[in-house]
Amino acid sequence: MEETSQVLHLNDIENLDSDISTRNFEDGDRVFFNISNDELASAIDAAGEGTWLNVASKSHGEADFVMSHLVPNYFGKDGTGDEHVYLEDGTLRTHYVENQHYFKFGDDFRLFNLYDAGNFMWGAWMNDSGFSPSAAKIGSELNELFMDADADQRAIKAGEMYNQNTQKEKQ
């Protein structure tokens, strides 16, 4: 195991993810779910192409990767058998406890909590749809009334760069 281990970094260690460093893990505990390049590409394809005309509606529908991909595919698969165990009151919509599931994408060295993983996937989708990093930043800031957290922006940027690099590897 030692020869294949790697150092992983939490995207939001200064806020939401700080408690994971004090958790008592047992041998065999799942720390994160790995999302392969193929799975990420499939989720992006399922969301469909984003355009200037549909990006806002898709970002609250097919390209809301927390609700369209992560929760349906990973919640309830952790031994509880029930995704609702992680529900908490949401102001405008269903909200899940964000730091109970962590995700790692392919060979990236970062772990993302639920909503940052969704941001990562959204950034990859925006890049795949041909939007510039500045357009993605403005779009995400508008969605959050210009109060988007730094960790959210890091996750979006990481997704953009990851998608860009995996696309180059395919060529």
Q: What is the pLDDT of residues 156-171, one digit of tens each?
A: 999 999 999 987 777 6
Contact (CB, 8 A) for 118 and 74:
no
Structural domain tally of the chain? 1
Distance (Å) of CA 42 to CA 63, 69, 133, 153: 12, 10, 22, 23
Q: Is residue 60 part of a domain?
A: yes
Given a cut of 50, whether residue 110 has pLDDT beyond it is yes
Decide if 171 is inside a domain: no
Banded pLDDT at 2 (limits 50, 70, 90): very low
Q: Quickly state the pLDDT bin for 147 (edges 50, 70, 90).
A: confident
> Residue 58: inside a domain, yes or no?
yes
Per-residue pLDDT reduced to its tens digit, 63-90: 999 989 998 888 876 555 555 555 555 5
Residue 139 lies in a domain: yes
pLDDT over threshold 90, residue 25: no
In a domain, 15, yes or no: yes
Asked if residue 2 belongs to a domain, the reply is no
> Domain span at residue 137?
7-165
132 in a structural domain: yes
Residue 161 lies in a domain: yes
What's the whole-number mean pLDDT along residues 103-108? Answer: 94
Cβ(157)–Cβ(133) under 8 Å?
Answer: yes
Q: What is the pTM of this model?
A: 0.87
